[in-house]
Amino acid sequence: MAGLLRLQLTEGRRRTLARYELALEANRRPELRAVYDASGAAFRRAAVVLVAGAGSPDPVRHGRMLVAFAEGVMFDALAGAGDDPTPEELRPAVAEFLRGMLG
């Protein structure tokens, strides 16, 4: 997960920013909502699989929370006031989040 986040902040930076632009526009133009929702479906499914494999008793809910965590990290780095986190910062942050969520 940390590697995927890092990839979205580096090589996928422009695509991630475009996705955030689409998210905002989809709130103003309902016909774009399905396009935006579909663009994140694979990421959401992967998060559910990841937390299920980690032993989550509620993988759908925990997957949604993992996506929210990841989106927050990316948004903060790309459009917020935060710096781009290094791999050395991301790995323990993701691990701590998962431990806290999954016990």
**Confidence class of residue 44 from pLDDT cuts 50, 70 and 90?**
very high
Cβ atoms within 10 Å of 77's Cβ, excluding its own: 20
Q: What are the pLDDT digits (tens) for 46-93? A: 999 999 999 999 999 999 999 999 999 999 999 888 788 999 999 999
Tokens of 19: 């996705």
> Structure pTM?
0.87
Residue 50: Cβ within 10 Å count: 17
For residue 79, the SS3 value is: coil
Q: What is the mean pLDDT of residues 25-44?
A: 89
Instruction: State how far the Cα of 22 lies from the Cα of 66, in Å rounded to an integer.
Output: 21
Average pLDDT value over all residues in the chain: 92
